[in-house]
Amino acid sequence: MDARVSSPGPLSPPRLLDQVRAKIRLKHYSLRTEQAYVDWIKRYIRHHGKRHPREMGAVEVEAFLTHLAVAGRVAASTQNQAKSALLFLYREVLALELPWLDNIQRARAPKRLPVVLTRDEVQALLCGLHGTHWLVASLLYGTGMRIMECLRLRVKDVDFARGEILVRDGKGFKDRVTMLPSTLAAPLRDHLVQVKALHDRDLGNGGGETGLPYALDRKYPGAGRQWAWQYVFPSASLSTDPRSGAVRRHHLLDQAIQRALRQALRDAGLTKPATPHTLRHSFATHLLEGGYDIRTVQELLGHSDVSTTMIYTHVLNRGGRGVASPLDRLN
């Protein structure tokens, strides 16, 4: 009998979307960016009859973006996100340096002034929140953090002795330092006592692990179970990591804060379309109203360009650029 060992055939290349995910994770993009980019690439392929992107070019990309604007009536920011996903696909995944990529015009988003709450409105809003929701909203207003920067805080990033909070991997992968409001020091300490008790229970049940950024769990085995790396605002339940499949305790979801804020707005009778990000806008505006230098506010917000911070100077000009109406002068 002729016993021959068949050699394995050549491995098939990974599927396109798996290549997209691998490249995104190599560049340390967030899970939300990964989900958004993969979704836009799927929609692009389906829109053109499931043709492979290598077979398409500028005409198909422009047709898809036009379809989003005309038929989908999406906002300029949404159209630009779709464009960014397709540029990532062609440049980073397919490695196609095509000249037409630079000729695709980016949709112009309307320039709008940010919604800003007065101090009384902030007070009324915070009075309608309780517990963890109140603490998160107070930190957003008291520090100028973005909501995901706040929810991703680790225990080690809060320095009570110096009255500082270290914001890791903010927008643009930048770290920065902001203040820890003295009025929140005691409530935050009490909150961490409860979080520590939850973590101890998880450890007692054989868990207690949280996800670490940039594969630090391989460099520092066991660090994911250390108290210092735990989230300041952990979720009430365990969840499965969509990338690794590990069951861990993730941070609180931003949707929970958004729902609580909307309810507090209704309860307070406020009509402004405020969101958690409105508290960041209010933080910057109130600091400028208090006489702080715009460069200082720029550093606290983590803006790369001071022109971005300058938008709040327009909010300071009450009425028509601070000019008194001639009607008021008649009186």
Question: 13: helix, coil or strand?
Answer: coil
Rounded (5°) CA angle 297-301-302:
115
Q: Can 280 be counted among the known catalytic residues?
A: yes
Strands 164-167 and 239-240: unpaired
At 247, the amino acid letter reads V
Helix, strand or coil for residue 67?
Answer: helix
Question: Which of 146, 248, 249, 281 is the catalytic position?
Answer: 146
Structure letter (DSSP) for residue 323: B
Query: Of the residues 133, 152, 199, 303, which is catalytic?
Result: 303
Catalytic residue among 43, 156, 171, 191: 171
At residue 240, φ and ψ (nearest 5 deg) are -95, 125
Dihedral, CA atoms, 16, 22, 28, 30, nearest 10 degrees? 60
Choose, from 37, 141, 231, 312, the residue flagged as catalytic. Answer: 312
- 171 has catalytic annotation: yes
Q: In what order do the strands lie in the sheet with 176-179?
A: 158-159, 164-167, 176-179
List, in order, residues 6 or more apart from 151 with CB less than 8 Å away.
136, 231, 233, 251, 252, 253, 254, 257
Q: Phi/psi of residue 190, each to 5°?
A: -60, -40
Which DSSP symbol is given to 92? I
Catalytic residue list contains 48 = no
Is the separation of the CB atoms in 128 and 263 below 8 Å? yes
DSSP category for residue 152:
T
Sign of the CA dihedral with 251 first, then 252, 253, and 258 last? negative
- Look up 277 and say whether it is catalytic: yes
- H-state helical runs in the chain: 16-26, 31-47, 58-70, 76-88, 119-127, 131-143, 147-151, 182-204, 216-219, 254-268, 276-289, 294-301, 306-309, 311-316, 318-321, 326-330
Catalytically annotated residue among 176, 280, 281, 286: 280
Catalytic amino acids? Answer: 146, 171, 277, 280, 303, 312
